[in-house]
Amino acid sequence: MLRVLLIDDTPRKIGRLKSALIEAGFEVIDESGLTIDLPERVEAIRPDVVLIDTDSPGRDVLEQVVLVSRDQPRPIVMFTDDSDPGAMRQAIRAGVSAYIVEGIQAKRLKPILDVAMARFETDQAIRAQLQAREQQLAERKRIELAKGMLMKMRDCKEEEAYTLMRRQAMSRQQKLIQVAEQIIAMNELLGQ
């Protein structure tokens, strides 16, 4: 069963949406009010979807949402009784996966949440690719740095420095990046 973390500080709305979610077959965990420990709550509860009211806490909620989405990525769905397209765009920019207008029928909730989760997974995959690219660049820079240090220390050419680093890494069953980090650390220690 999909687990929904429902956050709101207006009990009037929660009453309707909560019963609609339960009717649609979700397990609903009710959080009254948005607190600063929301990231910890999300980590503890591990919901499949975070459902949050845009309306009452206003702009600050979106800031908190970004924080949650950065540290504990979960699909986040907004609900509101205000179908203002501007607010909707703002929410999507902040990493929100879908938008529900209050008063929605129970049977329409599930498809919306399913789409939200699918979209979230795609976003995550793209984000992971970007992170991998950044990691590659960062590793390359560290290896280049270590290679430069080694060329200076050993007074050798680039190709030879690479070969020396790789032989060292391979004979210790390590990755090249590990040996590069060791060279950089040693260089710092010796104050070169």
Partner 1 sequence: MTEPATPHRHDALAWVAGSDAPEKSTLNLGFLPLTDAASLIVAATQGFAQPFGLTLNLHRQNSWSALRDKLTGGELDAAHGLYGLIYAVHLGIGGSPAVDMAVLMGLAQNGQSITLSAPLKAAGVTSPEALRNRVRQSDARMTLAHTFPTGTHALWLYYWLAANGIHPLQDVRTLVLPPSQMVTHLQAGRIDGFCAGEPWGAQAIAEGVGFTLATSQSIWPDHPEKVLGCTRAFVEQYPNTARALVMAILEASRFIDQSQENRRSTAQLIAGSEYVNAPLAAIESRFLGSYQDGLGNTWHDEHPLRFFADGAANMPYLSDGLWFMTQLRRWGLLRQDPDYQLVASQVQQIELYRQAAETLGIAVPESPMRNATLMDGKTWDGSDPAAYARSFTLHAMADQAVASAL
Pick from 171, 189, 191, 192 the residue near partner 1 by CB under 8 A.
171
Q: Are the C-beta atoms of 59 and 91 separated by less than 8 Å?
A: no
Element (H, E) at 50: strand 49-53
Instruction: Give the residue carrying structure tokens 């207006």.
Output: 10
Q: Select the span of 14-22, 32-40, 83-91, 133-141 touching partner 1 (CB under 8 A).
A: 133-141
Q: Select the span of 1-9, 42-50, 71-79, 137-145 touching partner 1 (CB under 8 A).
A: 137-145
Strand bridging mode 76-80 / 98-101: parallel
Pick from 3, 70, 108, 133 the residue near partner 1 by CB under 8 A.
133
- 166 is an interface residue for partner 1 by CB under 8 A: yes
Q: Which residue number, 70 or 141, has a Cβ lying nearer to partner 1?
A: 141
CA distance 113 to 76: 9
Rounded to the nearest whole angstrom, what is the least distance from the CB of residue 44 to partner 1 in the complex?
30
Describe the crossing of helices 176-189 and 106-154 by its angle, rounded to 10 degrees: 60
138 token code pair: 């960062």
Strand bridging mode 27-32 / 3-8: parallel
- 159 is an interface residue for partner 1 by CB under 8 A: yes
Q: Phi first, then psi: what are they for 118, rounded to 5°? A: -60, -45
Determine the 3-state secondary structure of 28 from DSSP: strand
Rounded to the nearest whole angstrom, what is the least distance from the CB of residue 133 to partner 1 in the complex?
5
- 126 is an interface residue for partner 1 by CB under 8 A: no
Q: Which residue number, 59 or 166, has a Cβ lying nearer to partner 1?
A: 166
Interface residues toward partner 1, by CB under 8 A: 128-129, 132-133, 135-136, 139-141, 143-144, 147-148, 157-159, 162-163, 166-167, 169-177
